[in-house]
């Protein structure tokens, strides 16, 4: 009952670890902890990996992912023997920084979706209705929460989580655990920062693009109400227009729902794939 089936993933994994006879137990533990230091911030920040789950669940998930990545890390790292000294502390801090960078980049599509929904609610005059988003643990509008829920579902349906894990795997190849971040990291003229700035400019464009159908209809309603107010100033157009703007905003949101879903899937997957470009620019 305790025997593993020959050729199974479990037996292959154990055989690989056994074949690393040149590694000491201390070396294996240090590689595991350095891997965990990169994975743990990702699990803590990425919404689709359960960033707001209980601490014990997140720790278990981070340990599981770290164990999965260890064979690749041993093969791609020139140095696999570390001691618990000041050098190990430096590598650990670097891994934590890399983890937070990857986690933050993976969360941006969800902030974009949330911001688009909040923009629609602001334009239709219902931004005062704030609810708590359980995924992001932030106060946002009702449509912002709806967009975030929908993106979570769409993201898993298109395999976005696996694409992101591929990017995490690529990060261990571009910047192994035994390699420090280049000394010119804080030079704003480096390709890394230029790539980051280029992606940040896309955030606003994508956010407005997702909210565009509702925004256009609400702006047209505003123009119509402005003309009507000039023609009949004695009528309280403002109060009549609040319900009209809300109705038009929701109506165009429903009419363009298929387009919005397509853009959510396309832009979120494209964003995650662009993480590879950021890693290449960081590795220099």
Condensed to tens digits (0 to 9), the pLDDT of residues 234-274 reads: 767 767 777 788 888 888 888 889 989 999 999 888 888 88
Q: End-to-end distance of the chain based on CA atoms, in angstroms? A: 50
Q: How many residues does the chain have?
A: 284
Which segment of 104-108, 127-131, 157-161, 191-195 scores lowest on mean pLDDT? 127-131
Tokens of 85: 């000294």
CA-based torsion, 263, 248, 245, 143: positive or negative: negative
pLDDT surpassing 70 at residue 24 = yes
Helix 9-19 and helix 55-76, axial crossing angle in degrees, nearest 10: 60
Condensed to tens digits (0 to 9), the pLDDT of residues 50-108 reads: 767 777 888 999 999 998 888 888 877 666 666 777 888 888 999 999 999 899 888 88
Condensed to tens digits (0 to 9), the pLDDT of residues 190-223 reads: 777 777 787 778 888 888 888 888 888 888 888 8
Burial of 128 (0-12, 13-18, 19+ CB in 10 A): exposed
């Amino acid at each position: 009952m305790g025997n593993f089936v020959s050729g199974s993933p479990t037996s292959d994994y154990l055989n690989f670890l056994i074949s690393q006879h040149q590694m000491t137990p201390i070396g294996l533990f240090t590689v595991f902890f350095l891997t965990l230091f990169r994975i743990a911030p990702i699990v803590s920040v990425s919404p689709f990996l359960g960033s707001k789950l209980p601490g014990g669940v997140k720790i278990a998930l981070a340990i599981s992912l770290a164990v999965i990545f260890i064979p690749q890390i041993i093969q791609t790292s020139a140095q696999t023997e570390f001691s618990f000294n000041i050098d190990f502390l430096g590598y650990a801090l670097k891994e934590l920084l890399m983890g937070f960078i990857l986690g933050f980049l993976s969360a941006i599509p969800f902030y974009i979706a949330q911001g688009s929904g909040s923009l629609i609610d602001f334009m239709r005059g219902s931004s005062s209705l704030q609810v708590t988003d359980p995924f992001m643990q932030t106060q946002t509008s009702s449509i912002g929460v709806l967009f975030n829920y929908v993106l979570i579902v769409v993201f898993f349906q298109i395999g976005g989580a696996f694409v992101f894990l591929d990017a995490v795997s690529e990060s261990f190849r571009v910047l192994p655990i035994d390699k420090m971040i280049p000394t010119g990291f804080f030079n704003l003229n480096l390709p890394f920062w230029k790539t980051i700035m280029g992606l940040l400019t896309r955030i606003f464009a994508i956010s407005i693009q997702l909210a565009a159908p509702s925004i256009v209809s609400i702006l047209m309603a505003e123009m119509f109400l402005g003309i009507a107010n000039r023609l009949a100033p004695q009528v309280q157009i403002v109060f009549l227009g609040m319900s009209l703007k809300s109705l038009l905003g929701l109506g165009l949101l429903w009419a363009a729902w298929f387009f919005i879903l397509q853009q959510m899937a396309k832009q979120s997957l494209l964003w995650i794939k662009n993480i590879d470009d950021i890693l290449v620019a960081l590795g220099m």
